[in-house]
């Protein structure tokens, strides 16, 4: 230890502060820095994305026009039309999205014809930002004609206006940039037919994107939201669901093949989440598939995560369908299995294969190196393993390196769970997806959940979990975040069994959500990271490479005894030893931490504290930094390390190793 350059007063201050409130006998906790008990999967902490709560269309997917292809069952849902507007399908440019609109003169120069789009809970415009308006169009006859495009603010005032020339009887894509002159949270897009003659203009796939999407992709994603994902340093990205994989019925399940190729010709699918909660009904919730499987793979790659797609196993959502006739029979399963095989080819295949060629044509000749594939979401009953085994056999035969993920049902315990785990072992899947939406108390009581799991069978993917604090209406608050942090010490300690973990759900629009809590909330312009997000980030950023053996005075891992939780990881390449400590008590707690076999270390460690004076507090769009981690220097004068943690706190200590 070299303390010489630290001034004496600073040393006294830093050592004295954490020790100040030490009163009762400290809890003794030992970290054996030499004995490691598991490798941490580099993919361990990740993201689960589902199009719920307007997470995709109206959220991450940056398209600002709702029902851009006029394919909603009510063709003009999301639009207001005025003057002479018709919806037609003859000679449509895109066979899977056949509807388009025809605008014509209303016969009087003062009677306007046009359309207005309401966006998703309005259209958000950032001041001085550029937007790309595009449309497929044709004219009747070859004479040049015009439409006028306007951005409208909340007071119904035009704040940007530009005219677009359209010419030619053949369908063509037109596009232009427009600048928003004001910040508007709930704007609108208006389009006028500007002709003086009577000839018609046909419009299809009317689109408006901010120019500044993530990485400037044209068919792009909202920059602030992707940044919030990238900042999580995710190891894995599970997509596209969740229940939407299964569908309210098989016809509306997520079909990945519908989500690739030209964006204009991806057929619309209704969203399963428009129905589920009658009190949170969003009859205008559809999936444009603009954010499709190609975009998911690209997103994963660009934020440094491994892609983990989930596919239908031939069972429609079992919550919504009791009757076996709703599901694909074993005889009819082949197309579903083929979808899985083709997806692997799409992601990883050479460019001279059918699906690899499509990937290349879409802009990514190099393989995406997909290595995980989940078959089924929250499935149960004998009907699931019966189907899964057909997939397992086919995938193993053709792609033995793909890690297959099976389901343990919708809950962390109970009959369905107890039936499925042995079945998953029998089928020798690589990982089993477990889901738990439980109270904070459950999370606090279950930090040892994995301590005695079978080390020989499939590994665990904690694919959906979140602490639901019912008394606070399931708010994203510090109480739930702390419970998750405590529980996650158990995931970390058992990193040999738990290989992947993803909180759920991910996104929610503040005005259009069905399910809470959620990791990231947003409106049309802003986004906020919940306090739960910060817990995920701390684990992911400080995941270490190997788990150290740890124990308290009872020789057991510290997994809730006396309201305390702890785990330790080491990363020899980064020269870091990382301690995670949580105090779930109403009182401060003193610790005495022995770092066994630790020789050389930097006396100045990093201490990151996540604390709140009120456990019901969380972050909001208006106060986004209410509960966030605070970083400070912790001077380690001597070992064992003596610390006093305040009531209800989660700490991460990062020690630099010199050897
Ligand atoms: O995360 C929300 C939903 O919860 C998922 O779609 C489903 O898998 C689970 O029931």
Query: What atom of ligand 1 comes closest to residue 243's alpha carbon?
Result: 6
Contacts of 65 (CB under 8 A, 6+ apart): 78, 117, 119, 123, 189, 206, 207, 208
* Pairing label, strands 498-503, 507-509: unpaired
Q: Are 275 and 281 in contact (CB under 8 A)?
A: yes
**Is 46-59+217-515 CATH 3.20.20.80?**
yes
Tell me how far the alpha carbon of residue 433 lies from the centroid of ligand 1, in angstroms.
Answer: 12
**Residue identifier of the C-alpha nearest atom 5 of ligand 1:** 242
List the end-to-end C-alpha distance of the chain, in Å, as a whole number. 11
Q: Would the CB of 50 count as within 6 Å of ligand 1?
A: yes
- Pocket probe mutation, ligand 1, options 47, 54, 55, 243, max atoms within 8 Å of Cβ: 243
Among the listed residues 50, 150, 270, 378, the single catalytic one is: 378
Q: Where are the domains of the chain?
A: 9-40+544-656, 46-59+217-515, 79-212
**Residue identifier of the C-alpha nearest atom 4 of ligand 1:** 242
Q: What is the mean pLDDT of the chain?
A: 95
Tokens of 191: 């389009």
pLDDT of residue 195: 76
Longest dimension (CA), the chain: 90
The backbone torsions φ and ψ at residue 347, rounded to the nearest 5 degrees and listed phi first, read -75, -40
Dist CA 570 CA 103 (whole Å): 66
Q: How far is CA 325 from the centre of its chain?
A: 32
More confident residue, 69 or 599: 69
Query: What atom of ligand 1 comes closest to residue 378's alpha carbon?
Result: 8
DSSP state of 646: P
pLDDT of residue 14: 44
* Residue the block writes with tokens 């460690």: 605
pLDDT of residue 596: 96
Tell me how far the alpha carbon of residue 337 lies from the centroid of ligand 1, in angstroms.
Answer: 23
Dist CA 319 CA 274 (whole Å): 15
pLDDT of residue 22: 44
Model confidence at 2: pLDDT above 50: no
pLDDT of residue 659: 66
Tell me how far the alpha carbon of residue 243 lies from the centroid of ligand 1, in angstroms.
Answer: 6
Q: Would the CB of 378 count as within 6 Å of ligand 1?
A: yes
pLDDT of residue 18: 47
Contacts of 453 (CB under 8 A, 6+ apart): 460, 494, 497
Query: What atom of ligand 1 comes closest to residue 242's alpha carbon?
Result: 6
Other C-beta atoms within 10 Å of 111: how many? 11
pLDDT tens string 445-481: 999 999 999 999 999 999 999 999 999 999 999 999 9
Tell me how far the alpha carbon of residue 318 lies from the centroid of ligand 1, in angstroms.
Answer: 12
Omega cis (within 30) before 242: yes
- Under CATH, which number does the domain 9-40+544-656 receive? 2.60.40.1180
Burial 513-549 (b: 16+ CB within 10 A, else e): bbbbbbbbbbbbbebbbbbbbbbbbbbbebbbbbbbb
Q: 143 catalytic, yes or no?
A: no
Model confidence pTM above 0.75: yes
* Pairing label, strands 236-239, 269-270: unpaired
pLDDT of residue 13: 40
Query: Where residue 38 falls among pLDDT bands split at 50, 70, 90?
Result: very high
User: Span 441-447, mean pLDDT?
Assistant: 98
**Minimum mean pLDDT range among 21-35, 38-52, 208-222:** 21-35
pLDDT of residue 210: 98
- Pocket probe mutation, ligand 1, options 377, 379, 438, 516, max atoms within 8 Å of Cβ: 377
Dist CA 24 CA 553 (whole Å): 15
**Residue identifier of the C-alpha nearest atom 1 of ligand 1:** 505
Q: Would the CB of 612 count as within 6 Å of ligand 1?
A: no
pLDDT of residue 23: 53
Model confidence at 9: pLDDT above 90: no
Q: Are 560 and 447 in contact (CB under 8 A)?
A: yes
User: Span 376-393, mean pLDDT?
Assistant: 98
Model confidence at 272: pLDDT above 90: yes
- Pocket probe mutation, ligand 1, options 253, 254, 280, 378, max atoms within 8 Å of Cβ: 378
Q: Would the CB of 246 count as within 6 Å of ligand 1?
A: no
Model confidence at 376: pLDDT above 70: yes
Tell me how far the alpha carbon of residue 51 lies from the centroid of ligand 1, in angstroms.
Answer: 10
Domain at 79-212, CATH homologous superfamily: Galactose-binding domain-like (2.60.120.260)
Contacts of 457 (CB under 8 A, 6+ apart): 424, 425
Dist CA 629 CA 650 (whole Å): 9
User: Span 204-209, mean pLDDT?
Assistant: 98
């Amino acid at each position: 230890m070299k303390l010489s350059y630290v001034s004496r007063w600073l040393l006294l201050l830093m050592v004295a502060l954490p020790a100040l409130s030490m009163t009762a006998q400290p809890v003794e906790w030992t970290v054996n820095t030499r004995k490691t008990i598991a490798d941490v999967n580099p993919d361990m902490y990740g993201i689960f994305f589902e199009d719920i709560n307007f997470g995709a269309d109206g959220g991450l997917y940056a398209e600002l026009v709702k029902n851009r292809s006029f394919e909603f069952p009510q063709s003009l849902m999301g639009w207001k039309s005025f003057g002479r507007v018709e919806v037609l399908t003859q000679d449509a440019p895109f066979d899977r999205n056949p509807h388009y609109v025809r605008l014509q003169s209303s016969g009087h120069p003062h009677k306007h014809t046009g359309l207005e789009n309401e966006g998703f809970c309005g259209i958000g415009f950032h001041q001085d930002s550029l937007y790309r308006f595009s449309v497929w169009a044709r004219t009747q006859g070859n004479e040049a004609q015009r439409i006028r495009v306007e951005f409208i603010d909340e007071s119904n005032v035009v704040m940007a206006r530009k005219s677009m020339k359209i010419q030619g009887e053949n369908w063509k894509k037109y596009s232009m940039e427009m600048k928003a002159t004001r910040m508007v949270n709930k704007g609108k897009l208006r389009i006028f037919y500007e002709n003086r003659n009577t000839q018609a203009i046909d419009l299809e796939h009317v689109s408006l994107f901010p120019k500044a999407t993530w990485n400037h992709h044209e068919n792009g994603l909202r920059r602030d939201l992707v940044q919030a994902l990238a900042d999580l340093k995710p190891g894995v990205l599970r997509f596209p669901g969740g229940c939407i994989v299964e569908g309210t019925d098989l016809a509306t399940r997520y079909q990945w093949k519908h989500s690739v190729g030209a964006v204009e010709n991806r057929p619309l699918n209704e969203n399963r989440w428009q129905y589920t909660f009658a009190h949170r009904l969003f009859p205008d919730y559809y999936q444009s598939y603009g954010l499709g499987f190609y975009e998911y793979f690209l997103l994963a790659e660009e934020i440094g995560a491994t892609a983990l797609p989930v596919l239908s196993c031939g069972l429609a959502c079992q919550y919504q369908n009791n009757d076996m006739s709703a599901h694909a029979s074993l005889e009819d399963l082949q197309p579903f299995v083929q979808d899985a095989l083709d997806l692997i080819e799409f992601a990883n295949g050479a460019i001279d294969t059918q699906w690899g060629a499509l990937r290349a044509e879409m802009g990514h000749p190099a393989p995406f190196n997909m290595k995980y594939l989940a078959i089924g979401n929250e499935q149960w009953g004998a009907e699931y393993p019966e189907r899964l085994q057909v997939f397992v056999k086919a995938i193993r035969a053709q792609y033995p390196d793909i890690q297959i993920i099976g389901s343990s049902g919708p809950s962390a315990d109970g009959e369905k769970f107890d039936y499925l785990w042995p079945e998953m072992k029998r089928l020798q899947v690589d990982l089993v997806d477990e889901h738990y939406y439980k109270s904070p108390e459950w999370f606090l009581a279950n930090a040892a959940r994995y301590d005695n799991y079978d080390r020989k069978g499939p590994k665990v993917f904690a694919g959906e979990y979140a602490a639901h604090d019912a008394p606070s209406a399931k708010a994203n608050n510090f109480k739930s975040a702390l419970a998750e942090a405590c529980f996650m010490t158990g995931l970390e300690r058992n990193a040999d069994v738990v290989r992947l973990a993803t909180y759920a759900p991910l996104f929610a629009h503040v005005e259009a959500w069905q399910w809470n809590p959620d990791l990231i909330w947003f409106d049309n312009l802003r986004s906020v990271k919940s306090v739960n997000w910060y817990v995920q980030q701390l684990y992911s950023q400080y995941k270490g490479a190997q788990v150290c053996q740890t124990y308290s005075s009872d020789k057991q891992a510290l997994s809730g005894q006396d309201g305390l939780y702890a785990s330790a990881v080491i990363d020899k390449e980064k020269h870091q030893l990382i301690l995670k400590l949580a105090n779930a008590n109403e009182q401060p707690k003193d610790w005495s931490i022995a770092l066994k076999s630790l020789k050389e270390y930097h006396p100045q460690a990093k201490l990151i504290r996540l604390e709140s004076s009120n456990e019901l507090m969380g972050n909001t769009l208006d106060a986004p930094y209410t509960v966030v981690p605070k970083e400070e220097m912790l001077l380690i004068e001597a070992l064992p390390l003596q610390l006093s943690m305040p009531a209800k706190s989660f700490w991460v200590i990062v020690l630099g190793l010199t050897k």
